Amino acid sequence: MSKNILVTGASGFIGKYLVSELMSLGHNIFSFSRSGGYNICDPLAFNSFVDKDIDTVYHLAGSTYIPDSWVNPSEFYRTNTLGTQNVLEFCRKISAKIIYISAYIYGVPKYLPINEEHPVRPNNPYAHSKWMGEEICRFYSQNYGIKSIILRPFNLYGEGQNNNFLIPFLLEQLKTGKIIVKDDSPKRDYLHIKDFIKGCVSCLNYDKYNITFNLGSGGSYSVLEVINMITSVYSGNIEYLCRNEKRQNEIPDTVADCTLIKNELGWNPEISFKEGLKNILKNEII
């Protein structure tokens, strides 16, 4: 049965994939994005959608580049936290369900793999602003009856991602024949965007609310391991340099425990990291 769905951040990396998948399933999609002239920080921006009979909102819009959050934290709190409250007020007005795309907010892990009960210790303004968005979702769910599901993706990757992120950054350097990184030791749990989108869509008809799910692959790779995978597929000669510069508040390793979403929704990642990298290289580089 088709639904009327509003997607905030519809023109972003995740948004484009999500809109495409939802449309292919026959749903009616309303896009809310900065490029479309909508500002998540303006509560009046939602007025055009009040009469569209929207029953679900996927909330993706926000500021995401972590280094920028240290330079201009106010922008991140305004967009990611207060913007989320604007979305929830819209949901309250029209009695819509919200599926909120959060982030990795656990900081330096106390144990691996990381489940949803792990202490939340955001270690940068971006993660903190996303956690505050989660808290507002929980408050609206408990006190206003808003049906909310929170998704915490670990490190997403895939074709079309901005080169502020590691994998597209490495692929951009690959074209020059020289890869330079500051630190090649941190390990991350990488999840392909298409697997994440399947997780998002699986929540559409889920009948439990005020619940949080981790989404990751359940394994991790260091920066050096990612580079070795990429160069093993690429046929050209590559020069490599690591400057051994440690980033402020660096997290050494992350591995997602996705037992909850697997048990509740039957979701499992299907694209291996090596396969995902090969597909990107094939379509964007080789």
Q: 32 and 45 in contact (C-beta within 8 Å)? A: yes
Q: Which residues of 101-113 are buried (b: 16+ CB within 10 A; e: fewer)?
A: bbbbbbbebeebb
For the record, the structure tokens of 109 come out as: 């892990």
Tokens of 68: 């920028």
Mind spelling out the 3-state secondary structure of 107-153?
CCCCCCCECCCCCCCCCCHHHHHHHHHHHHHHHHHHHHCCCEEEEEE
Q: What are phi and psi of 210, to 5 degrees?
A: 55, 50
The Cα–Cα gap between 79 and 4 comes to 24
Give, in order, the Cα–Cα distances in Å from 80 to each of 62, 232, 255, 257.
5, 39, 24, 25
Residue-level pLDDT, tens digit, the chain, 286 residues: 899 999 999 999 999 999 999 999 999 999 999 999 999 999 999 999 999 999 999 999 999 999 999 999 999 999 999 999 999 999 999 999 999 999 999 999 999 999 999 999 999 999 999 999 999 999 999 999 999 999 999 999 999 999 999 999 999 999 899 999 999 999 999 999 999 999 999 999 999 999 999 999 999 999 999 999 999 888 778 999 999 998 878 999 999 999 999 999 999 999 999 999 999 998 876 6
The phi and psi torsions of 222 (rounded to 5 degrees) equal: -75, 165
**Do the strands 211-215 and 190-192 form a parallel or antiparallel pair, or are they unpaired?**
unpaired
**Pairing outcome for strands 221-222 and 187-188:** antiparallel
Q: DSSP state, 184?
A: S
Q: How would you class 61 by CB atoms within 10 Å of its CB: exposed for 0-12, middle for 13-18, buried for 19 or more?
A: buried
CB 83 within 8 A of CB 40: yes
CA distance 128 to 107: 10
Task: Please give the domain boundaries of the chain with CATH numbers for all domains.
Answer: 4-158+190-216+255-270 (3.40.50.720)
Residues forming beta bridges with residue 43, ordered by sequence position: none
Per-residue confidence (pLDDT) for residue 286, from 0 to 100? 60
Length of the chain: 286
Q: What totals of helices (H) and strands (E) does the chain contain, helices first? A: 10, 12
Backbone φ and ψ of 213, nearest 5°: -125, 135
CA gap 35, 88 in Å, rounded: 21
Q: Is the separation of the CB atoms in 210 and 138 below 8 Å?
A: yes
Cis peptide before 122 (omega within 30 of 0): no
